[in-house]
Amino acid sequence: MTRTGLFPVALLAILAALAGCSDKPVGKKPGPPATLITVTQAKSQPLDVIESTLGAVEAVIDPKVAAEVPGRVLKIYVRSGNTVKKGQLLAELDPTDATGQHHAEQAETARLRSLLAQQERVVTRQNELVSRNFISRNASEDAAAQRDALKSQLTAAQARTAVAAHGLARTRITSPVDGTIEVQIAATGDYLKVGDPLVRLISNSRLRANLPFPESAAGRLKRGLTVRLSSPLVPGKVIVGLIEDIRPTLLETSRSLEVIARFDNPAGAEELKSGGSVNAEVIIERKEAAVMVPEQSVVLRPAGKVVYLIANGAARQQRVEAGAKQSGMIEILKGVQAGDTIALDGAGFLSDGAAVTVKETSQPATKEAPVATPAAAK
C-alpha cells in the first residue's frame, strides 16, 4: 500500500478514538488533598504565673569600720581582699593619750574612794557624839551630807574611768562581723579623727536583690511574694527569697518600680557576690488547674488567636483567649477544655473545615509545674 493510501486509515483511527472519549461521563473536579498534621491534647496542670526581671545583688552587711577614738595609726594588719572573722584585730592606734586619760581617771577614782572612807568614819564618830549629847545633831547631818556628796563624786569618777577604759580598748580596732576587706582606706601613719574610716567590710552571708519592674506590674507585686533567683555564679541553682520592700517612688532614670528581695547566701562568700547580676522570677499567682497547650498550636488569624480542634478527619477553627506563657506552653483562658484534641505540627497551614490526615499523636510537651509570665501576647 502506498503512503497516500495509509493516511485516510490513520485519520479514521484518531477520529474514532476521540469519539469514544466523548462518550465517557464527565466526573467531578477533585478537592484539595488532606493536610498532614500531628495532634496533641490540651492539659490541665499547675501553673506558676511569674514576673521576670534582671537585677543586681547587694550586700546587706557592708559597714565602714571607723576610728572611735582619735589617734595615729601604728599598724594595719589587713588589706583589701583579706577574709576576717568577727572580733579579729584590724589595726592599732597610738594608745598614749587614751592610756594617760585612763590613768588619770583611775587616780581620781582612788582619791575619791579614800575621801569617802574617811568621811564614813567621821559620820560614825559624829553619830556617837550626838548620842552622848556632846555635839548638836546639825553637825552630824553636815558630815552625812558631805559623805553623800563624795559618794556621788565617786560614782561619776567610776563612770569616767569606764569610759576611759573603753576608749583605750578602742585603740585596737576589730572587725564587727565576718566578712572580706573590700577597701583599705587608711594607711599606717595616718591620723584619724573620730569617725574617720579605716576599711570597708563586705559580708556576703546576707544579700539583697534590687529588682526593677515596669510600672504596669505595680498592681501585681506586694511584700511577702516568693522570688526565685538564679545567677551565672551558680549555674543551675535556684535560690529562694522573699520580697521585703517595694520602693514608694519610681526610678528617675528608667521610670521603673524597684523591688527589694532579701535572702541568705547558701554558702556565704563561696556563692553569690555583691555587685553581681541575678535573674529573678516573682511568683505572682499559682493556678492549680490551668489549661495548657503548646504555643505552636495557637495560630493568628483575622478573627484573632485560634486553635484547630480535630475530629473525624477535619479541622474546626476555634477562637481562644490566651493567658500566661512560659517554656513553650501557653495558657488558654477561654475556648478550649482540658482533653480537647488540637492540631500541633501543621496548624499554621489549616483553615476552618480543612481535611486532615493525622500522622501520629505527639506526646504533649508539658512539665510538672510550669511557670508563666502574665505578659502573654494578646
pLDDT tens digits, residue range 218-258?
A: 888 889 898 988 888 888 888 888 998 998 888 878 788 88
Burial 171-196, CB ≥16 within 10 A → b, else e: bebebebbbbbbebbbeeebebeeee
Closest among 242, 211, 244, 214 to 228, alpha carbons compared: 242
Query: Could you tell me the pTM of the whole model?
Result: 0.56
Taking only the tens place, the pLDDT of each residue in 153-194 is 999 999 999 999 999 999 999 999 888 898 999 999 999 999
CA–CA distance, 179 with 59 (Å, rounded to integer): 11
* Integer Cα distance of 240 and 258 in angstroms: 18
Tell me the three cell numbers of residue 117.
Answer: 572612807
**What is the second-level CATH architecture of the domain 63-93+171-200?**
Beta Barrel (2.40)
Mean pLDDT of residues grouped by 10 in the chain (378 residues)? 47 49 49 83 86 88 90 93 92 93 93 90 84 77 87 93 92 91 92 93 85 87 89 84 87 84 70 82 86 91 91 91 84 90 90 85 48 48
d(CA 236, CA 31): 53
**Given this model, what pLDDT does residue 366 score?**
46
User: Which residues, in sequence order, are bridge partners of residue 55?
Assistant: 278
> What is the fold, at CATH topology level, of the domain defined by 52-60+207-286?
Elongation Factor Tu (Ef-tu); domain 3 (2.40.30)
Q: Where are the domains of the chain?
A: 35-47+288-372, 52-60+207-286, 63-93+171-200, 96-169
In the numeric block, the cell 572611735 is attached to: 68
Instruction: Please give the Cα distance from 43 to 290 (Å, whole number).
Output: 8
CATH of 35-47+288-372 among 3.90.550.10, 3.30.930.10, 2.120.10.30, 2.40.420.20: 2.40.420.20
User: Pseudo-torsion of CA 246, 250, 254, 256, nearest 10°?
Assistant: 40
Q: What angle do CA 171, 177, 181 make, to 5 degrees?
A: 80
Got the DSSP string for 10-44? HHHHHHHHHHHHHTSPPPPPP-PPPEEEEEEE-EE
Label residues 2-38 b or e (16+ Cβ within 10 Å = b).
Answer: eeeeeeeeeeeeeeeeeeeeeeeeeeeeeeeeebebe
- What does each C-alpha distance from 32 to 92, 275, 355, 356 come to in angstroms? 92, 62, 8, 11
Class of domain 96-169: mainly alpha
